[in-house]
């Protein structure tokens, strides 16, 4: 069984196209778990309009305070992941488009891997900004490399249930969900990067994902969240070293 986990917030502009690109790739027994962070637009109504029993909508109460912008997204994804029943779980953003054959390719390539990361292309209003995201990053599942530049883009990630159960719940310290899953998968499982471009990743001003927007964060911000992540990582490793 496959679970697709989506975190939504005011995604009415693109969510219909995204869901329409996913549903044909799923079987009757699969599911789409949507955790909605109190959207004030028509996101939920659009999801309901599909009238598809595979789509399960959860209401999530957003964080009252968040030191880092990604903390709200992490909390929302955490809610979706906790409710996923599938053996294989696809992470999914609300505003991208899955290419035909994405699910089939990932299932074929996953083999003995605990986590798969596939390639994507960056697009904006029909323009291709980069035909291969992998050409612009260093692919690594190591903690040090990812503290410098994260290799893990959540919308391109698929994780096995047995690994996910080990890595949940997320730490109370605010960490990026994709970086947490990817780095810990590298330590406790096996990560496989595949160069197939299986998704169109939208880069636009209202994107919820920080990677989809121009990075304007200060040096102090970048240093702060990395220290937070490393602290949470070391605590987890120490507690689970047995």
What range does the domain containing 124 cover? Answer: 2-239
Res 173: pLDDT: 84
Q: Among 6-10, 25-29, 207-211, 217-221, whose mean pLDDT is lowest?
A: 207-211
Radius of gyration of the chain (CA): 17
Question: 15-72 pLDDT, tens per residue?
Answer: 999 999 999 999 999 999 999 999 999 999 999 999 999 999 999 887 766 777 788 8
Check the CA dihedral 229-235-238-241 and report its sign.
Answer: negative
209 pLDDT higher than 60 = no
- Beta-carbon contacts of residue 1 (< 8 Å; ≥ 6 apart): 29, 30, 31, 85, 86, 87, 88
Beta carbons of 18 and 92 less than 8 angstroms apart: yes
Res 205: pLDDT: 53
We report the CATH number of the domain holding residue 18 as 3.90.550.10
Q: What is the pTM of this model?
A: 0.91
- Beta-carbon contacts of residue 227 (< 8 Å; ≥ 6 apart): none
Res 206: pLDDT: 52
Structure tokens at 130: 């980069």
For residue 216, the Cα-to-chain-centroid distance in whole angstroms is: 21
Count how many domains the chain has.
1
């Amino acid at each position: 069984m496959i679970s697709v986990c989506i975190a939504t917030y005011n995604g009415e502009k693109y969510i219909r196209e995204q869901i329409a690109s996913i549903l044909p790739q799923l079987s009757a027994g699969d599911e789409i778990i949507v955790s909605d962070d109190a959207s004030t637009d028509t996101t939920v109504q659009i999801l309901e309009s599909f009238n598809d029993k595979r789509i399960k909508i959860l209401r999530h109460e957003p964080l009252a305070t968040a030191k880092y912008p990604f903390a709200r997204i992490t909390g929302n994804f955490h809610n979706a992941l906790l409710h996923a029943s599938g053996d294989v779980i696809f992470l999914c953003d609300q505003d991208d488009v899955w290419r035909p054959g994405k699910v089939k390719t990932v299932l074929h390539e996953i083999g003995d891997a605990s986590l798969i990361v596939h390639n994507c292309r960056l697009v904006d209003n029909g323009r291709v900004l980069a035909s291969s995201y992998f050409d612009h990053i260093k692919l690594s599942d190591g903690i040090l490399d990812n503290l410098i530049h994260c290799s893990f883009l959540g919308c391109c990630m698929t994780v096995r249930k047995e690994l996910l159960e080990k890595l949940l719940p997320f730490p109370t310290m605010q960490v990026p969900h994709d970086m947490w899953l990817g780095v810990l998968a590298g330590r406790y499982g096996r990560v496989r990067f595949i160069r197939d471009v299986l998704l169109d990743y939208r880069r636009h001003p209202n994107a919820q994902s920080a990677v989809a927007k121009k990075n304007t964060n200060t040096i102090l911000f970048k240093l702060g969240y990395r220290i937070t992540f490393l602290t949470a990582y070391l605590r987890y490793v120490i507690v689970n070293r047995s």
